[in-house]
């Protein structure tokens, strides 16, 4: 447990795609990384391998019955939320998303002019939170509420790490982070329930998460209650903010370590966006931006591990899996398999040129999972990440304060950098 990520990487490298058994003392889950086996678990046998068991306990204590559950509770939430994330709806939101992002990026001008370094993770979180609240939550969350939700979420995301990594420790045994988790959750609940109450009778119109949930609860014959709305609001807030801002945080040290990639990225953006503010229609002319984002999620798939429990006996890669046993799926380890990826540790967006991407095994690269639980936010993420990256790079040069190679991954609920990182921005144009 001193360096669980290094140990997992060692096991992943040694097993190189074979099903391996981990000995965590109280629990002995199987580690599944080969693309064929991942496909069997997530897609071929998705009815057999379900979200259940002790590894889901910490998440269930946070989200309750919601889109992050399984069985009927999951299906009901998914039915309500899926339309908010259809490609058509997301396309409709793209212009307001670009506006929200450009406005959030405007606020980097002041530290850039002053030559003051900005902390990367909080800066990415601010941009993502402002965008998500305006666009996905229909701008129904007031500033004062956002000012409570955002630090509460941060507290929860960092304090849940021990429970997440050691799920077999009973709740009554105290662990580091428990107090902060309880405080974050209380703050979150107070704000979320107040919001649910404020929109009790008039959830508004439009396609946003908030309206979809409140309308479903009000629908005739509905047995959904406030707790259901709260659970899904919390699940959607957590999945839509923490993942995106963590992934974008990795971008900056990664680019700093690869100046030739950064130079090519800048050249593409300069040629397409020039002095304009980024718009969604720019993105179709920015293929390298897309490749950089894809490769970023290969090396740093922030949803780095997720478990399933077998409902009945089966075989996986020659290994017998008995009913009740747990398998761990890890995009982080699969994306670094030496037998699947050449130079797996090197950041190289060339891997994702359209013809190379087309010839990949569907489950060689799966940062968003697959099968029935595949991430519903993947189109939102791609759009948001490409717009944020392009908006910042078109307007600022960036210099890391830390040596980029000293930044390593630390595992918790998501894959975060192991240290606070800062960067200095310099306006690309004198008038910016
Ligand atoms: C870097 C960005 C993201 C990554 C790497 C990521 C990763 C994932 C993964 C691996 C899963 C599958 C979990 C499983 O199979 O048990 C998932 C599910 C999910 N993601 Fe994402 N996600 C990202 C961004 C987002 C965003 C922006 C949203 C919302 C706007 C979102 C909402 C969800 C939801 C609701 C689910 C559960 C879907 C279901 O069970 O039906 N995610 N995500």
User: Which residue pairs, CB below 8 angstroms and at least 24 apart, start in 53-60?
Assistant: 53/307, 53/309, 53/324, 53/326, 54/27, 54/167, 54/168, 54/326, 55/29, 55/167, 55/307, 55/326, 55/328, 56/307, 57/163, 57/167, 58/160, 58/163, 58/164, 58/167, 59/164
242, 251, 303, best to mutate for ligand 1 pocket (most atoms within 8 Å of CB): 303
Which CATH number characterizes residue 124's domain?
1.10.630.10
Domain that includes residue 107, residue range: 4-424
Q: Which atom of ligand 1 is nearest to the CA of 136?
A: 30
429 Cα: distance to centroid of ligand 1 (angstroms): 37
Q: Is residue 78 part of a domain?
A: yes
Q: Is residue 432 part of a domain?
A: no
331, 366, 377, 413, best to mutate for ligand 1 pocket (most atoms within 8 Å of CB): 377
With the CA atoms of 381, 385, 387 and 393 taken in that order, what torsion angle do they form, in degrees rounded to the nearest 10? 180
Residue 311 has pLDDT above 60, yes or no: yes
- Token readout for 284 is 């179709």
- Across residues 89-104, what is the average pLDDT? 96
235 Cα: distance to centroid of ligand 1 (angstroms): 10
Task: Determine the pLDDT at residue 309.
Answer: 97
Pick the range with the lowest mean pLDDT from 104-118, 268-282, 341-355, 395-409.
395-409
9 Cα: distance to centroid of ligand 1 (angstroms): 23
Structurally, the chain folds into a number of domains equal to 1
116 Cα: distance to centroid of ligand 1 (angstroms): 34
Instruction: Give ligand 1 pocket residues (Cβ under 6 A).
Output: 51, 67-68, 78, 136, 239-240, 243-244, 247, 297, 301-303, 306, 367-369, 373, 375-377, 380-381
φ/ψ of residue 90, rounded to 5:
-65, -40
Residue 362 has pLDDT above 70, yes or no: yes
With the CA atoms of 336, 403, 261 and 350 taken in that order, what torsion angle do they form, in degrees rounded to the nearest 10? -10
Mean pLDDT of the chain: 93
With cut-offs at 50, 70 and 90, classify the pLDDT of residue 1: low
- Across residues 320-346, what is the average pLDDT? 96
- Across residues 274-281, what is the average pLDDT? 97
CA dihedral sign of residues 102, 108, 110, 113: negative
- Across residues 340-351, what is the average pLDDT? 96
Would you list the DSSP string of 302-340? SS--EEEEESS-EEETTEEE-TT-EEEE-HHHHTT-TTT
Per-residue pLDDT of 122-161, as tens digits, reads 999 999 999 999 999 988 888 899 999 999 998 998 888 8
Strand partners, 69: none
Q: Is residue 429 part of a domain?
A: no
Would you list the DSSP string of 187-225? HHHHHHHHHHHHTSS---SSS-HHHHHHHHHHSTT----
Q: Is residue 284 part of a domain?
A: yes
- Across residues 42-46, what is the average pLDDT? 98
Q: Is residue 392 part of a domain?
A: yes
Q: Is residue 431 part of a domain?
A: no
Q: Which atom of ligand 1 is nearest to the CA of 372?
A: 41
Q: Is residue 201 part of a domain?
A: yes
Tell me which H or E stretch contains 423. strand 422-427
Q: Is residue 35 part of a domain?
A: yes
431 Cα: distance to centroid of ligand 1 (angstroms): 39
Task: Determine the pLDDT at residue 432.
Answer: 45
381 Cα: distance to centroid of ligand 1 (angstroms): 9
368 Cα: distance to centroid of ligand 1 (angstroms): 6
Tell me how far CA of residue 64 lies from CA of 69, 170, 225, 227, 376, in angstroms: 8, 18, 13, 9, 19
Per the CB < 8 A criterion, the answer to whether 62 and 234 are in contact is yes
Task: Determine the pLDDT at residue 431.
Answer: 60
């Amino acid at each position: 447990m001193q360096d669980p990520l290094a140990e997992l990487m060692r096991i992943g490298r040694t097993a190189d795609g074979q099903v391996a058994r981990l000995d965590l003392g109280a629990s002995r889950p199987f580690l599944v990384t080969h693309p064929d086996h991942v496909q069997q678990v997530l897609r071929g046998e998705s009815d057999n391998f379900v979200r259940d068991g002790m590894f889901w306990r910490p998440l269930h204590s946070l989200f309750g019955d919601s889109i992050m559950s399984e069985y009927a509770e999951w299906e009901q939430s998914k039915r309500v939320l899926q339309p908010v994330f259809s490609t058509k709806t997301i396309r409709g939101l793209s212009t307001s998303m670009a506006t929200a992002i450009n406005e959030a990026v405007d606020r980097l001008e002041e530290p850039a002019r002053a030559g003051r370094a900005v902390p990367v993770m909080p800066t990415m979180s601010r941009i993502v939170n402002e965008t998500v609240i305006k666009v996905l939550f229909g701008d129904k969350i007031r500033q004062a509420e956002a000012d409570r939700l955002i630090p509460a979420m941060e507290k929860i995301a960092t304090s849940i790490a021990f429970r997440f990594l050691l799920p077999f420790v009973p709740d009554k045994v105290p662990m580091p982070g428990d107090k902060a988790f309880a405080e974050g959750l209380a703050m979150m609940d107070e704000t979320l329930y107040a919001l649910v109450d404020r929109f009790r009778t008039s959830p508004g119109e439009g396609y946003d998460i908030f309206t979809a949930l409140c309308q479903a609860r009000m629908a005739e014959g509905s047995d959904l209650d406030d707790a259901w709305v709260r659970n899904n609001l919390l699940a959607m807030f957590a999945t839509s903010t923490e993942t995106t801002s963590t992934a974008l945080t990795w971008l900056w040290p990664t680019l700093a370590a690869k100046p030739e990639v950064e130079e090519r990225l800048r050249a593409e953006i300069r040629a397409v966006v020039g002095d304009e503010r980024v718009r969604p229609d720019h993105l179709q002319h920015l293929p390298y931006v897309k490749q950089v984002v894809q490769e970023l999620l290969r090396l740093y798939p922030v949803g780095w591990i997720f478990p399933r429990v077998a409902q009945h006996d089966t075989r996986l890669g020659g290994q017998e899996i008995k009913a009740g046993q747990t398998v761990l799926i890890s995009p982080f380890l699969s994306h670094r398999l030496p037998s699947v990826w050449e130079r797996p540790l090197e950041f190289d967006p060339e891997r994702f040129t359209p013809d190379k991407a087309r010839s990949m095994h569907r489950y060689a690269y799966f940062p968003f999972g697959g099968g029935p639980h595949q991430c519903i936010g993947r189109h939102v993420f791609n759009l948001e990440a490409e717009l944020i990256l392009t908006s910042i790079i078109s307007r600022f040069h960036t210099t890391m304060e830390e040596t980029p190679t000293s930044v390593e991954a630390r595992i918790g609920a998501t894959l975060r950098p192991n240290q606070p990182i800062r960067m200095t921005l310099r306006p690309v144009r004198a008038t910016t």
